[in-house]
Chain A
Amino acid sequence: AQTVTQSQPEMSVQEAETVTLSCTYDTSESDYYLFWYKQPPSRQMILVIRQEAYKQQNATENRFSVNFQKAAKSFSLKISDSQLGDAAMYFCAYRTPSEGNKLVFGAGTILRVKS
């Protein structure tokens, strides 16, 4: 069974600084996708960034980028120039096409941004 592990229950970052959230996963599939989702206190889950396993290039979305290490099964999220609005719970998630749209989530990391 696929598993996703986020080892940091909580992280803090100073406004304008950079923070990295860690995620590891376990799978025997060769075709899969990895995601970072953000869940602000209002609760609606928002997609931050996605990475296709077959792509070697790390995905980036403005201030958000990932470090995808396929052999190590590691998928970390880097947030640059942190803003107060980045404060939220961040979930790492995995999906494989063989299981449709089923997402396997990590336990989440609470990110606090200090002004």
Chain B
Amino acid sequence: KAGVTQTPRYLIKTRGQQVTLSCSPISGHRSVSWYQQTPGQGLQFLFEYFSETQRNKGNFPGRFSGRQFSNSRSEMNVSTLELGDSALYLCASSHRVTGELFFGEGSRLTVL
């Protein structure tokens, strides 16, 4: 059974640009959550999507957005990138019954 797949694994952007990250959940998982991991702030919840609807949102500015498609794949977008957006972005999909979260390997974003 394939795990959670995140693409791209690494990317470098410059300030002001925008970026789109993709997450393919484990087959059958309908919930996808996104987290930002930085040395200073640790792991912070961005948002969760379930059946194409945003179910919960963390305390991030509107530059951070996401969506989920009918096949449960999810994308997150960050517009007008800032240096502080440099982070590891983790995606997790959730088992419907147990609620256990399975994480992908993350997308490492560097903003120059």
A: residues with CB less than 8 A from B are 33, 37, 42-47, 50, 91, 95, 97, 99-108
Contacts and interface: CB of A to CB of B under 8 A. Distances in A.
Contact of A47 (B55, B56, B101, B105): B101
A47 B106 CA distance: 16
Q: Which 3 A-B pairs have the closest CB atoms?
A: A45-B103, A105-B43, A101-B94
A100 B33 CA distance: 10
Contact of B99 (A33, A46, A91): A33
B88 to A, nearest CB: 7
Contacts of B99: 33, 95, 97, 101
A45 B37 CA distance: 11
Contacts of A37: 103
Interface of B: 31, 33, 35, 42-45, 48, 50, 55-56, 58, 88, 90, 92, 94, 99-106
Contacts of A50: 100
Contacts of B101: 47, 101, 103
Contacts of B44: 105
Contact of A100 (B43, B55, B90, B100): B55
A42 B105 contact: yes
Given A91-B43, A105-B42, A107-B42, A100 B50 contact: yes
A44 B105 contact: yes
A108 B104 contact: no
A43 B101 CA distance: 15
A104 to B, nearest CB: 7
Contact of B31 (A46, A101, A107): A101
A98 to B, nearest CB: 10
Nearest to B33: A101
6 contacts: A44-B103, A99-B56, A102-B33, A103-B101, A105-B42, A107-B42
A104 B45 contact: yes
A106 B43 CA distance: 8
